[in-house]
Amino acid sequence: MQLRIDLSGRDVLVTGSPVAARQAVRRYEAAGAVVFRLSSPHGGEHDGPLPERPFLVAAVDDGQPGWEPLLDRCRAQGIPVATEPAAGPAGHVTLVGGGPGAAGLLTVAAVEALRDADVVFYDRLAPYQALPGLTTAELVDVGKRPGHHKVSQTDIEKLMVDSALAGNNVVRLKGGDPYVFGRGGEEVAACVAAGVKVRVISGVTSAISVPAAAGIPVTHREVSHMFTVVSGHAPLTSTELHHLAGLGGTIVVLMGIGTLHHLAAGLRKAGMRADMPMAVVERGYRPGQRTTIANLGTIASAAAACSNPAVLVIGEVVRVAEANRDHADTSADLDRLAASLLGA
């Protein structure tokens, strides 16, 4: 259950050890409360003045014994006590798949990891606009720096590792799923090599969700019983093109705008029909989402004005979308869902 209470200007006493309570303190401060601290149930810590009668006690579950009598006294006086999770053990990294850009397609685990973060390193394919509503962590854009220089992969890994070694809970928020063309494996390896604890939270990949945003199911009974996800970052070899053309299932291409010409011509040469349906879905779940539908023979000219980020879909499933057109736009629904669940 989530409750929204206006805390602006209200005295809130946050109890719990400094390490466990640091994120709860930031959350209550961000909500406008006047935060007082009690780090130990036995007092004696230099926590500064305490309020006469706080509006709310936020009790962080820090594992110290002895809080209960104090909290019971508060309850007996009619002061509400909210229990707060402790900040996770400091100094680890969580790779979080952020989905294709809609806050509603973040997982519950992703939302929790963001809430518990001290620092978030994100790039532009992740739903970064929602971050201020989901976390009080420091937000670092590693996709582009102010001077438009991309931070190199090595530098990203070093930033993450150094921040975790300094005691922060680090979230690396990535677009889609961390292990689908996301360099997640490399980032895990960098953490392991540095002795930093790391875990991975899977995300909703754009390979499936962006076609869905355009109403295209990647599989469909009696139409396609397999799908292959391909990177278009580098042109495919003719062997790869022949294999793909021979499979007969759906082909989904990420990062494929730059090599679209080469791919369409190559699949034709490898024997695929010129009238095989093909779609380009640009900016899935974002303002300006656009779907261009053509076929293998005509796509190069039909999609001449298309730009990244986009997902290409080649296969008969594209026709299913045309049949289901009325149902295609789900992004507004997802945003409403996210707003009601997260208050984002």
How many of the chain's residues bind ligand SAH (CB under 6 A)? 24
Q: Is 278 in the site for ligand SAH (CB under 6 A)?
A: no
Instruction: Give yes or no: 144 in active site.
Output: yes
Choice between 79 and 255, CB closer to ligand SAH: 255
User: Active site residue: 62, 123, 276, 278, which one?
Assistant: 123
Shortest distance, CB of residue 304 to ligand SAH, whole angstroms? 17
Nearest to 258 by CA among 239, 229, 274, 236: 236
Instruction: Give yes or no: 333 in active site.
Output: no
Shortest distance, CB of residue 182 to ligand SAH, whole angstroms? 4
Can you tell me which of 311, 314, 321, 344 binds ligand SAH, judged by CB under 6 A?
A: 311
Q: Is 128 in the site for ligand SAH (CB under 6 A)?
A: no
Which pair of tokens denotes residue 148? 């438009």
Residue with tokens 């991975």: 200
Choice between 100 and 104, CB closer to ligand SAH: 100
Q: Is 285 in the site for ligand SAH (CB under 6 A)?
A: yes
Q: Is 249 in the site for ligand SAH (CB under 6 A)?
A: no
Can you tell me which of 57, 59, 86, 180 binds ligand SAH, judged by CB under 6 A?
A: 180
Residue nearest to ligand SAH (CB): 176
Can you tell me which of 154, 308, 324, 340 binds ligand SAH, judged by CB under 6 A?
A: 308
Residue with tokens 């695929």: 272
State how beta strands 92-97 and 197-201 pair.
Answer: parallel
Q: Is 113 in the site for ligand SAH (CB under 6 A)?
A: no
Taking residue 6's Cβ as centre, other Cβ atoms within 10 Å add up to: 9
Q: Is 125 in the site for ligand SAH (CB under 6 A)?
A: yes
User: Active site residue: 11, 158, 255, 329, which one?
Assistant: 255
Choice between 70 and 255, CB closer to ligand SAH: 255
Shortest distance, CB of residue 153 to ligand SAH, whole angstroms? 13
Can you tell me which of 175, 215, 217, 266 binds ligand SAH, judged by CB under 6 A?
A: 175
Q: Is 215 in the site for ligand SAH (CB under 6 A)?
A: no
Q: What stretch of H or E contains 337?
A: helix 331-342
Q: Is 283 in the site for ligand SAH (CB under 6 A)?
A: yes
Q: Is 310 in the site for ligand SAH (CB under 6 A)?
A: yes
Residue with tokens 């007996």: 76
Give the ranges where 90-140 is alpha helix by DSSP (H). 108-115, 131-134
State how beta strands 197-201 and 56-60 pair.
Answer: unpaired
Shortest distance, CB of residue 323 to ligand SAH, whole angstroms? 22
Can you tell me which of 16, 54, 88, 100 binds ligand SAH, judged by CB under 6 A?
A: 100
The answer to whether 26 and 84 are in contact (CB under 8 A) is: no
Span from 35-43, 244-252, 260-268, 278-286 in contact with ligand SAH (CB under 6 A)? 278-286
CA distances from 223 to 21, 45, 165, 317 (A): 54, 68, 51, 6
Length of the chain: 344
Question: How many CA atoms lie within 13 Å of 134's alpha carbon, on the beta-carbon side?
Answer: 28
Q: Is 14 in the site for ligand SAH (CB under 6 A)?
A: no
Q: Is 224 in the site for ligand SAH (CB under 6 A)?
A: no
DSSP output for 47-85? -----SS-SEEEEE--S-TTHHHHHHHHHHTT--EEEEP
DSSP output for 269-336? HTT--TT-EEEEEESTTSTT-EEEEEETTTHHHHTTT--SSEEEEESTHHHHHHHTGGG---HHHHHH
Catalytic residues: 123, 144, 255
Residues lying near ligand SAH in the complex (CB under 6 A) are found at 100-101, 125, 174-177, 180-182, 205-207, 210, 254-255, 283-286, 308-311
